[in-house]
Amino acid sequence: MRQIYLDYSATTPVKQEVLEAMLPYFTENFGNPSSLYTTGSLSRDAIIKAREQVAHLIGAKDKEIFFTSSGTESDNWAVKGVAESLKEKGNHIITTMIEHPAILRTCENLETKGYRVTYLPVDQDGRISSSQLADAITDETILVSIMTVNNEIGTIQDIPELCRLSKEKNRNLVFHTDAVQALGNMPIDVKTWGVDLMSISGHKIYGPKGIGALYIKPGTRIANFMHGGSQEAKRRAGTENLTGIIGFGKAAEIAERELEGHIHHSRELRDYFIDQVTRRIENVTLNGSREHRHPGNVNLTFDFIEGEAMLLYLDMNGIAVSTGSACSSASLTPSHVLTCLGVPLEKIHGSLRFTMGDFTTKEDLDYTIEKLTEIVARLRSMSPVSKEKGW
Ligand SMILES: Cc1ncc(COP(=O)(O)O)c(C=O)c1O
């Protein structure tokens, strides 16, 4: 059966070039980068190169990149590390209601330890208001953490502007952005953006899973999170994930080289898909911003039917999509992101996320649209709600 993968925001396949760069470091050059003999120094050199590749993609210096085990660890480190380091200066943290659970659950954890957290709401498009952010900042605010691109609805925030404004209000606070979904999908430049901390992850840019990084601007007050050996310039203990780091580096190099083409390709497919689905299927709404949107994200609500049923039928036809974020798809609790946009509960349950990437073709989308049209019609013909509405 034809297999169509439309869940690139959950994860991406490792590119062949990335795999080939990694392979020798599993079996031949497997030395511990901390060892003093030759295989150790080969591993060290490979890490130096990967750090440069990752740094270059976001406009950072290599010394400002610290490898972690994931985007989740980077987010935890950013939030907990700043909270601990600046606890004498204040106990107030600002974030948004639509962050990834890696930020939300971490902030909730800090609330149990006496920190005060403001969760900013978003407008219908999923954008936060700069005046609301400015109003929330006080002398007690030590950290502002706002994601660059939302993983469910693809909304892009104006991070350079939000960072500038935050620092204008309180120049001592630390500004963090979770750029996991932004990496490789838009140009990023930490220097012109002005952020102090940025979380990124390998497996969203055709690199391996289980490798992430935290960008730390020099001088940023942030306590260590992992304690142990003196790896990562004594900032993050633990024997380096050598192959993961090399894969992340290679993926970053490719992402930078192909950024423009990748964005153009994804955007064309995204717009084609939105146009065709909304034309061919009635009572469908696009969630999130049309303008400020991840180039490969389509989040749609299909009235009168359940997203889970659609997902299963699509899966039976070899098509992989997601209901909400990958992390929450195992539970049936309604998406917190769509809830924040004001989407009514019954509509949230009829929502699906389709995310496109480098290996998606127009033919894939045509096949998906054909199957989706049939599935929606079938489910609606069985749905008591659509019967009630005279469908
Ligand atoms: C916005 C965002 N932040 C953080 C993460 C977590 O990254 P990782 O899967 O590397 O832990 C994800 C993953 O879906 C994400 O989309």
**DSSP letter string over 188-237?**
--HHHHT-SEEEEEGGGTTS-SS-EEEEE-TT-----SS-SS-HHHHTS-
Can you tell me the mean pLDDT for 117-144? 97
Q: What is the pLDDT of residue 325?
A: 46
Q: State whether the beta carbon of 68 lies less than 6 angstroms from ligand 1.
A: no
Could you tell me the pTM of the whole model? 0.96
Q: Which of 98, 107, 200, 201 to mutate for ligand 1's pocket (most ligand atoms within 8 Å of CB)?
A: 201
Q: What are phi and psi of 321, to 5 degrees?
A: -135, -175
Q: What is the pLDDT of residue 327?
A: 45
Determine the Cα–Cα distance for residues 71 and 165; give it in Å rounded to an integer.
25
Q: Which atom of ligand 1 is nearest to the CA of 72?
A: 11
pLDDT (tens digit per residue) in 202-248: 999 999 999 999 999 999 999 999 999 999 999 999 999 999 999 99
Q: Enumerate domains of the chain plus CATH numbers.
A: 4-11+259-388 (3.90.1150.10), 16-254 (3.40.640.10)
Q: Tell me what pLDDT residue 386 has.
A: 67
What phi, psi does 182 have (nearest 5°)?
A: -85, -35
Average predicted confidence (pLDDT) for the chain:
95
Residue type, 329: S
Ligand 1 centroid to Cα of residue 67, in Å, is 15
| pLDDT tens per residue across span 244-285 | 999 999 999 999 999 999 999 999 999 999 999 999 999 999
Does the Cβ of 349 fall within 6 Å of ligand 1? no
Q: Over the stretch 36-93, which tens digit does the pLDDT of each residue have?
A: 998 899 999 999 999 999 999 999 999 999 999 999 999 999 999 999 999 999 999 9
Answer yes or no: is the C-beta of 155 below 6 A from any ligand 1 atom.
Answer: no
Catalytic residues: 327
Residue 334 pLDDT level (bands cut at 50, 70, 90): confident
